[in-house]
Amino acid sequence: MAVYGQVILLGMMLFVIGGACVLIRRNLIMILIGVEIMLNAAGIVFIAASLRWGALDGQAFVIFIMAVAAAEVAVGLALIVYCQGRSGSINADTYNTLKG
């Protein structure tokens, strides 16, 4: 299928956008969102590969990616609330206690 390469390109661009979000934004919530976007991009590529080779394994892996994303978001947001309660800020730049 000719579309396959283009789907890979779309997934790649989404992954780069998510990575840029993780690296550039200083808000902890935005960092978690970036990770979500990257996982979603991986899922798109898995489904495209599943269509390309006519096997259902790729779609099965997307189910697991979704489970991992849901668990990661639950624990990550709980951690954000915990850090916010401890330090009063969700700006990643303020976590510099280890700085000499």
**Binding interface with other proteins (CB under 8 A):** 3, 6-7, 10, 13-14, 17-18, 20-21, 24-27, 29-30, 32-34, 36-37, 40, 43-44, 47-48, 50-51, 54, 56-57, 59-60, 62-64, 66-75, 77-86, 88-91
**What is residue 5's three-state secondary structure?**
helix
Identity of the residue, 28 or 100, whose beta carbon is nearer to other proteins in the bound complex? 28
Q: How far is the CB of 77 from other proteins (least distance, A)?
A: 5
Min separation Cβ 1 and other proteins, Å: 8
Contact 60, 47 (CB under 8 A): no
Beta carbon nearer to other proteins, 25 or 100? 25
Contact 41, 18 (CB under 8 A): yes
Q: How far is CA 52 from CA 2, 3, 5, 59, 90, in A?
A: 9, 9, 10, 12, 42
Question: How many Å apart are CA 28 and CA 66, to the nearest integer?
Answer: 21
DSSP state for residue 8 in the 8-state scheme: H
Give the nearer residue to other proteins in terms of CB position, either 39 or 99.
39
- Nearest-approach distance from CB 98 to other proteins, in angstroms: 18
